[in-house]
Chain A
Amino acid sequence: MNPRTARSALAVATVTVLASACSLSGGSGGGAQQTPEVTLVTHDSFVAPQDVLDAFQRQSGLKLKVVKYGDAGELTNKLVLTKANPIGDVAYGVDSTFASRALGEGVFQPYTSPEADRGPQRYSVDPEHRLSAVDLGDVCVNVDSGYFTSKGLAEPKTYDDLADPKYKDLTVAEDPATASPGLAFLLGTIAKFGEQGWQGYWTKLKANGLKVDSGWEEAYTKDFSGSSGKGPRPIVVSYASSPAAEVGPDGKPRTKALLDTCYRQVEYAGVLTGSKNLPQAQKVVDFLLSQQFQTTVPANMYVYPARQGVDLPAGWAQVAPLPSNPATLPADQVQAGREKWIGAWRSLMGA
């Protein structure tokens, strides 16, 4: 080999070696195999402070492995697909919109946590207690208060206000087929106006210049005027807790959730059928319902704890109180109607 060829070969070899040396995903620790490991399958929004997770691992003597699998719908579908050989031992994040599908497919097995009587049972979806409520989140219309003050226009309050010509071209919502807040909002209107009336309401919304985005990101960060994007529209479909993230430097909230336009989703945890670590999986459910974990839920995931007597972070009471009277639909009705409604919505909105 002549020197130049050798040099280029050396260069390639060096790159290769350097590259392989800095690779990290190959080695996975190894070592202490004695600690039993338990796998929690959850959605992308799962967030828990590391110290709380560490404390749980110390107390229980378990090694908790967290695997995230998309949003609530994606997570549910993946659990259904893998039910014969589950990807974990316990799952958290299946919500009330998808609970029926998971239960109907036999994804979860019965388990009643000793912690469940501290509130979670209020949201029970089946008599066998295969799912335990961990948290609740409300999808509500949010408004940019500053916009309405500066225009001298009263803030809207109800679903009907959104169809009022006073608020023409001011609202942005999400596509229920592609975004979960969009679906919750659609379900809210169905709960409010009924299976017969919701299409009439949406026809009015469309005529009143409603804009539909495919995802929450576009709607909230680009089109909504009350967030960082400072978009053109002061009314957006988001969450009851969103105003907590929009507190100005002066400590005052700049946005507000309209509490008469909320639809509640409850998120559940359960032990997976076919889990090979049954007692450990049950301990994880207990942990998710414990005071210790529930306290971390609002600030980290922007949802409200299912457990009673858990304090919300300071300021939430003023900025992001839990809506007292949100709409809901029975899980079975959602399961039976979801696809039909989305189909009807799509043809109605000309998608």
Chain B
Amino acid sequence: MALAHGGLTPARTLRTAGLALLGLLPVAFLAVFFAWPVVAIVGRGFSAGGVDTVLADPQTWRLAGFTLASAAASTVVALLAGLPVAYLLARVRLPGVGLARMLVLVPFVLPTVVVGLAFRAIWPDGGVLPLVLANAFFNVAVVARTVAGLWSHLDPRATEAARALGASPWRAFRTVTLPALGPAVASAAAVVFLFCATSFGVVLILGGGQYRTLETEIYLRTVDLLDLSGAAALSLIQFAAVLAALALGAMARRRRENAVRLRSALVTARRPRGGEWWTVGAAAVVLALLMTPIVALLAESVSGENGWSLAGYRALSGNGANDALQVSGWTAAKNSLAAATDATLLAMAVGVLASVVLVALRRAPGRLARGMGETMDAALMLPLGVSAVTVGFGYLITLDALPGDLRTSPMLVPLAQALVIIPLVVRMVLPVLRAVDVRLRQAASTLGASPVRVWREIDFPLTARSLVAAAGFGFVVALGEFGATSFLARPDAPTLPVAVATLMGRPGELNNQMAYAACALLMVVTVAAVALIDRFGSVRGHGSVGEF
């Protein structure tokens, strides 16, 4: 091992120590706000006994099989639908692409109960197909945005060279572009798979009693039956499945990952030519399909008993019929913005720090550093794969030990939301950070630049756009987050998705209309947030980001 890079000089040892210290921060965050609560609640189930009985039950394994198969199917659908959209967002310069970039995120933030009901309108009896499609519907944005993040920076000249040498467009895509995109595609697939494997509301509404998953069963046993040992057994299986998925994803990334030439996104996008229009067409079809439930929902928000009505929107300034909500719709929107902001700041701090450390560990010599890096990489993803109810109930029995009894603190919601966003931030920032050509950094170091200066002058400009994109995406995810948010203490401060679910659970025309109006508000806020962040991310007219 210790060949060209030589042994451990004192300076290098110091740097490694500093790196380890830096790496400790994200690890500590995850240990306190994720691992400890989860281990505590699962441990309680174990000490109650009976875990082996559940593990031996063939019904349990049928559940596990269905969970994995349906999540895999949704992931495939999301990838197939997401890639053309990623192409559109990354490579195409046409009017309307900017709008598409914002709209594609909207499905991601819609409350599950609303999407569930929208799909039920098309498939009244539920079943596997709507379940798979609905989970994919939520996650097309993950694929599109994650892959586009890297794609927009890829140097198109490699593909052009392949084309010039006689490769067909498909062949050029398969042999040049796709391998370069590999890490982003694998990242997106892993994230989508984890989201689908742990999706809750959609399965409940569209699966009816017929189709159940590990997640719905964990929820049921924890929340309704207080059968913690059964829930612990199922959590164990879910955990194993998640680890397997992460290992597969990591393998795919490792095989593909290499430094590729990155270019400014503004240079790479252009008007499509010839066969490329087919891809644009496919992306347009996907977008149209994504917009269908959204348009239906908007229509629902403006229709009353006797035709069109804006009553739902007017009701947003109040608390709903018979005070269904404790606060007004607008206050709920404000709560959402505040919590999402806090969650994003927290997740960016932890996620970016973690990414920097991960990249450094990967570049550091020695098996140990690499092993540490890979373990940390996987650990950062785990929150996506563990049931929100497990984390939420774990908080209840652990966080009172922290100063100030965090269980009823308003910070709990942002903390839990941050847990969900951190993996996304890491997955979006890491591929770009890793793709930064190491020779640039070496050259800078050779010329005497300090590590901080290298980061500032090289890594940061090349990754700034991804950072902003990750922050924006994280913010949007936090806005729409429902699972963890709904389990946690939220004293008189519902977020918008929680308010929507509450309104849906109340009888009366007005509450129903108001719920849909609140959804529309959530969409508007999302689009506005994305627009704002995209604007900051790429200062138009100047080849700002990624240019030297």
Contact (A246, B507) CB under 8 Å given A23-B341, A44-B502, A214-B204? yes
* Interface residue tally on A, bucketed by range: 35 or more
> At the interface with chain A, which of B25-33, B92-100, B220-228?
B220-228
Cα distance A23–B148 in the bound complex, in angstroms:
29
Tell me whether B322 and A299 are in contact (CB under 8 A): yes
Contact (A87, B457) CB under 8 Å given A67-B489, A78-B393, A178-B204? no
Contact (A20, B345) CB under 8 Å given A39-B408, A213-B208? yes
Q: When each residue 510-531 of chain B gets 1 if its CB lies under 8 Å from chain A and 0 otherwise, what string results? A: 0111000000000000000000
Tell me whether B547 and A4 are in contact (CB under 8 A): yes
Contact (A20, B341) CB under 8 Å given A5-B460, A78-B393, A214-B204? yes
> At the interface with chain B, which of A151-159, A185-193, A220-228, A262-270?
A220-228
Q: When each residue 42-55 of chain A gets 1 if its CB lies under 8 Å from chain B and 0 otherwise, what string results? A: 00110101000000
Tell me whether A67 and B491 are in contact (CB under 8 A): yes
Contacts of B539 in A (CB 8 A): 7-8, 11
Any A CB within 8 A of the CB of B299: no
Most buried by A among B322, B345, B410, B468: B322
Tell me whether A218 and B544 are in contact (CB under 8 A): no
Query: Nearest chain A CB to B421's CB is how many angstroms away?
Result: 13
Contacts of B167 in A (CB 8 A): none
Any A CB within 8 A of the CB of B454: no
Any B CB within 8 A of the CB of A307: no
Partner of B322, one of A16, A88, A302: A302
Task: Give chain A's interface secondary structure class.
Answer: mixed
Q: When each residue 77-117 of chain B gets 1 if its CB lies under 8 Å from chain A and 0 otherwise, what string results? A: 00000000000000000000000000000000000010011
Q: When each residue 486-523 of chain B gets 1 if its CB lies under 8 Å from chain A and 0 otherwise, what string results? A: 11011111000000001011111101110000000000
Cα distance A11–B532 in the bound complex, in angstroms:
11
Q: When each residue 92-126 of chain A gets 1 if its CB lies under 8 Å from chain B and 0 otherwise, what string results? A: 00000000010000000000000000000000000
Tell me whether A12 and B536 are in contact (CB under 8 A): yes
Contact (A82, B464) CB under 8 Å given A1-B456, A68-B490? no
Cα distance A223–B507 in the bound complex, in angstroms:
13
Any A CB within 8 A of the CB of B542: yes
Contacts of B321 in A (CB 8 A): 245
Query: Nearest chain A CB to B359's CB is how many angstroms away?
Result: 19
The chain A residue with its CB closest to the CB of B226 is: A77
Contacts of B532 in A (CB 8 A): 15
Contacts of A5 in B (CB 8 A): 456-457, 460-461
Any A CB within 8 A of the CB of B391: no
Cα distance A44–B491 in the bound complex, in angstroms:
10
Any B CB within 8 A of the CB of A164: no
Tell me whether B209 and A22 are in contact (CB under 8 A): no
Any B CB within 8 A of the CB of A318: no
Cα distance A246–B322 in the bound complex, in angstroms:
13
Any A CB within 8 A of the CB of B280: no
Any A CB within 8 A of the CB of B344: yes
Partner of A87, one of B212, B224, B407, B456: B407
Query: Nearest chain A CB to B327's CB is how many angstroms away?
Result: 10
The chain A residue with its CB closest to the CB of B410 is: A25
Query: Nearest chain A CB to B248's CB is how many angstroms away?
Result: 31
Tell me whether B117 and A73 are in contact (CB under 8 A): no
User: Total A-B pairs in contact (CB under 8 Å)?
Assistant: 197
Any A CB within 8 A of the CB of B16: no
Query: Nearest chain A CB to B380's CB is how many angstroms away?
Result: 22
Contacts of A88 in B (CB 8 A): 408
Any B CB within 8 A of the CB of A346: yes
Contacts of B467 in A (CB 8 A): 12
Most buried by A among B335, B504, B511: B504
Contacts of A85 in B (CB 8 A): 400
Tell me whether A68 and B491 are in contact (CB under 8 A): yes
Contacts of B344 in A (CB 8 A): 19
Contacts of B341 in A (CB 8 A): 19-20, 22-23
Q: When each residue 391-424 of chain B gets 1 if its CB lies under 8 Å from chain A and 0 otherwise, what string results? A: 0010011001000000110110110000000000
Contacts of B413 in A (CB 8 A): 25
The chain B residue with its CB closest to the CB of A26 is: B342
Tell me whether A47 and B322 are in contact (CB under 8 A): yes
Contact (A65, B491) CB under 8 Å given A20-B341, A82-B397? yes
Contacts of A222 in B (CB 8 A): 117, 120-121, 124
Q: When each residue 209-241 of chain A gets 1 if its CB lies under 8 Å from chain B and 0 otherwise, what string results? A: 000111111101111000111001000001100
Enumerate B119-140 residues with CB–CB distance to A below 8 Å.
120-121, 124
A-B contact pairs, 24 of them (CB 8 A): A4-B542, A11-B464, A12-B467, A12-B468, A12-B536, A16-B345, A20-B341, A23-B345, A44-B505, A47-B323, A47-B326, A67-B408, A67-B489, A68-B491, A73-B223, A77-B224, A85-B400, A87-B400, A213-B208, A215-B204, A238-B507, A245-B322, A245-B511, A339-B227
Contacts beyond the supplied A85-B400, A87-B489: 16 A-B pairs with Cβ under 8 Å = A4-B542, A12-B467, A19-B341, A23-B338, A47-B322, A65-B408, A66-B492, A73-B224, A77-B222, A77-B226, A82-B407, A88-B408, A178-B204, A178-B224, A218-B116, A228-B305
Interchain residue pairs A-B with the least CB separation, the first 6 = A351-B209, A24-B338, A245-B507, A245-B508, A228-B512, A23-B341
Taking Cβ atoms with an 8 Å cutoff, the residues of A that contact B are 1-2, 4-5, 7-9, 11-12, 14-16, 19-20, 22-26, 28, 39, 44-45, 47, 49, 65-70, 73-74, 77-78, 80-82, 85, 87-88, 101, 175, 177-178, 212-218, 220-223, 227-229, 232, 238-239, 242, 245-246, 249, 299-300, 302, 339, 346, 349-351
